Amino acid sequence: MLQKLFRNPQDAAAGLFLVSVAAFFLWQSSSLDLGTLRSMGPGMLPRSLALIVLGLGCLIMFNASVTVGPALESWQLRGPVFVIGSILIFALLIRSAGLLVAGPLTMIVGAYASDEFRLKETLIFSVLMTAFCILLFKVMLKLPIPVIAFM
């Protein structure tokens, strides 16, 4: 359908996605008080950002109707499944197992989203990034994030 309406279907799909996300956030923030510029309410920032995203989505869709671009390609589920899976793993393990376990597992599962996954490189990267996260969040910022669940 986008192939017939727009000269650049890939950009049109991206713009439509942004418009959909903005509409969702406008709907969800509709019950929050907007306030005024002198006294901003809790709905000011989410609604403002949603309107900016909406405007950019419309701009991208307009551009897609003017410029010629590539056709829509078939979508693969590998990327979204492993990225969402890694987020869920982190959410489930951060409190029960700690950052020492949740960090590397999250990065390893997330790395499977790519066709260029290499276990050795991913292990090295995940260990170094977990050490950096422990240093940053636990030591420097002193956040109450458990490094190991029983500590």
Residue-wise pLDDT tens digits, 119-151: 999 999 999 999 999 999 999 999 999 999 765
Distance CA 64, CA 9 (A): 7
Q: What is the DSSP string of 115-146?
A: TT--HHHHHHHHHHHHHHHIIIIIIIS-----
Tell whether pTM > 0.75: no
Largest CA distance in the chain: 59
Question: Quick one: tokens of 145?
Answer: 């994030």
Q: Whole-number mean pLDDT of the chain?
A: 92
Q: What is the band of 71 on the pLDDT scale with cuts at 50, 70, 90?
A: confident
Instruction: Reply yes or no on whether the pLDDT at 1 is more than 70.
Output: no
pLDDT tens digits for range 100-120: 999 999 999 999 999 999 999
In angstroms, how far is CA 1 from the centroid of its own chain?
Answer: 27
